Amino acid sequence: MIHPTALISPKAEIDSGVTIGPYTIIGDQVKIGADAVIGPHVTIDPYVEIGPECHIFQFASIGALPQAIKFEGEETHVKIGRKTIVREFATINRGTGFGGGITEVGEENLLMAYTHIAHDCKTGRGVILANNATLAGHITIEDYVTIGGLTALHQFVRVGKHAYIGGKSAVVKDVPPFVIAAGDRAKLHGLNRVGLKRHGFSDDALAMLKKTYRLIFRIGLTLNEAIERVRAEVGQTPEVDYFLAFIKKSERGMTR
């Protein structure tokens, strides 16, 4: 059902079963997948793709021009994965030509009220941003990360899978996977054991990750020394291999 007061560009592609509320504005080159719900007073600017079964609540702004001085009006995009929920007053900006050209929100994300996702950010599956969480440009958030309310992340920060960032934090360096980070500036507070158990991690996997975390971050070794100790004492598992690969790839430095 499309409310008669909604303003929809004839160049938009609206799939079957989409609901669009009153006074919503949908621009050119917008695609909205089947059974999505777009609430009242939503603005969706050009070059936005919204996946099936998404729910965009009132007063959200999707696809506005990036807040980047170097942006020169080039065609860039926003893509939102299926079953993502975008709550009231959330904002998601388009990408930039110099930053890859697309801002991507993964499937089954929950973006609570007043959250902001800036240009060229990418989030994985099952990401939760609590109220007023803010992502600066070029940030990568991997699968099943939760970010607490009133938290700000610096440009180019990466957050690994299954990490949990507490509320009212300031994150200026990469956050490794599987951990809890919190504070201004954010520091590590051990493994995200509750989250990992909820996602089916075994006791053996948790024990190996706990030992890896301790060797990397808690006994004062250099990174190379710590990796050698992990290989000797923990061995190779998919979780440990991913943990180490994420850390070695860091360019901003690692939250500790």
- Cα 220 to Cα 173: distance, rounded to the nearest angstrom: 19
Tokens of 217: 């971050």
Q: What is the mean pLDDT of residues 139-153?
A: 98
Beta strand 31-32 with 13-14 is: parallel
Give the residue-averaged pLDDT of 9-38: 97
Let me know how long the chain is. Answer: 256
Quick one: pLDDT at residue 193? 97
Domains of the chain: 7-141 (2.160.10.10), 196-248 (1.20.1180.10)
**Residue 70, exposed/middle/buried by CB under 10 A (0-12, 13-18, 19+)?**
exposed
Straight-line distance from the first to the last Cα atom of the chain, in angstroms, rounded to the nearest whole number:
50
Give residue 102's pLDDT: 98
Q: Which residues are catalytic?
A: 119-120, 137
Written in H, E and C, the secondary structure of 35-102 is CCEECCCCEECCCEEECCCCEECCCCEEEECCCCCCCCCCCCEEEECCCCEECCCCEEECCCHHHCCE
Q: Is the pLDDT of residue 235 over 90?
A: no
Q: Say yes or no to pLDDT of 16 above 90.
A: no
Task: Report the share of the chain in percent with pLDDT over 70.
Answer: 100
High-pLDDT (> 90) share of the chain, %: 98
Q: Looking at residues 31-55, what average pLDDT do you find?
A: 98
Digit-coded pLDDT (tens) for 98-145: 999 999 999 999 999 999 999 999 999 999 999 999 999 999 999 999
Listed in sequence order, the residues at least 6 apart from 213 whose beta carbon sits closer than 8 Å to its beta carbon are: 178, 179, 190, 191
Mean pLDDT of 154-181: 98
In angstroms, rounded to a whole number, what is the distance separating the alpha carbons of residues 56 and 114?
13
Torsion of CA 16, 44, 30, 104, to 10 degrees: -100
Whether pLDDT at 213 is above 90 = yes
Q: Which of 91, 96, 94, 86 is nearest to 37 (CA)?
A: 86
